[in-house]
Amino acid sequence: MIRTISPNPNRASFGRCSACAVRSLSICGALDQSDLMEFERISRHVQLSPNEALFTAGQIARSVHNVTAGVVRLYKLLPDGRRQIIGFALPGDFLGAAPSDRYSYSADAIDSVSVCRLSRESFTQFIEQRPHFLIRINEIASRELMLAQEQMLLLGRRTAEEKVASFLVGWRERLAHIGDVRQTIALPMSRQDIADYLGLTIETVSRTLTRFEREKMLIIVAGGVRLLDPTRAAAMAAA
C-alpha cells in the first residue's frame, strides 16, 4: 500500500524541500525560500514499494508527482495486451502534468520510490500566482520531449545491438545527470523491462548483452553492467 507522510502543520519552519537532494534537478529548483515553503505546505511525501502503482492509464488525473528517489516505470498496454514501456523516471522528473483530465499512461515503482504529490488544483493555483515558475516547467517539458524523441529513434530502423548500446549509453548519461557517476551502470529494471522499452524480446536483449560481454565491451555484474569499451558503445549508439 502507498504510504503518505503528511507534514506537521504545527512545525514552525519547513525543511523537507530545502534538504531535498534533487531539488536543483526538479521543478523546485526555480523556487525561492518563501515559495519553497508554500510548495512544501501543499505537497505530501509518498513512498512506494517495488511494483506499487503510482497511477494508472485512464485514471482521473487528480495529482501531479515529483520523483525524489528511486526509479519509476512508465508504460502503456497495447490493445492486444502487450506492454510498451515509454520511459523510466528518475529523481527530479515530474509526472502527471499533461493537460488531459485522465492519465494517458501508467506509472509504477521499480524499486523503493519516493515522490512529492500535489493535487492538480493546488498546483494550478501555485503556478497562477507565480508566472516565472512557468519557465522552469517549460524546461522540464522540453526535456521530456527530447526523451520522447530519443525513444522514437530507438524504436526506428536500428539493429538490436544498436538499440541496447544506445539504451546503456543514454541511461548512463541520465544517471550521471543526477550525480550517479559510478563505474557500474545500475540497472534496477528487469531485462523484460528493457526489452519492452526497446521493442525487442527478452531473449534478444539477453543474447545481445552476452555478446557484448563476450566481445569485452562490458561486464555483466549484479545489479547492472560495467562498460569496458565506452567508446565503442557510444559509436554504436550514434549509428
55 closest CA partner among 96, 95, 106, 100:
106
Confidence of residue 72 (pLDDT cuts 50, 70, 90): very high
Q: Domain 157-237 adopts which CATH fold?
A: Arc Repressor Mutant, subunit A (1.10.10)
- b (16+ CB within 10 A) / e for 70-107: bbbbbbeeeeeeeeebbbbbbbbbbbbbeeeeebebbb
Q: Which CATH superfamily hosts domain 3-152?
A: Jelly Rolls (2.60.120.10)
Note the pLDDT tens digit of each residue in 11-43: 334 467 777 888 888 888 778 888 888 889 999
Note the pLDDT tens digit of each residue in 77-107: 989 989 999 999 999 999 987 778 899 999 9
pLDDT at 140: 73
pLDDT > 70: percent of the chain: 93
Note the pLDDT tens digit of each residue in 177-210: 999 998 899 999 999 999 999 999 999 999 999 9
Q: Per-residue pLDDT for 223 more than 70?
A: yes
Per-domain residue ranges for the chain?
A: 3-152, 157-237
The residue with cell 536500428 is 158
pLDDT at 12: 35
End-to-end, the C-alpha distance of the chain in Å comes to 44
Q: Per-residue pLDDT for 108 more than 60?
A: yes
* CA-based torsion, 175, 176, 179, 185: positive or negative: positive
What is the value of pTM for the model shown? 0.86
Supply the Cα-derived Rg of the chain in whole angstroms.
19
The per-residue pLDDT of the chain, averaged, comes to: 87
Note the pLDDT tens digit of each residue in 132-142: 777 777 777 77
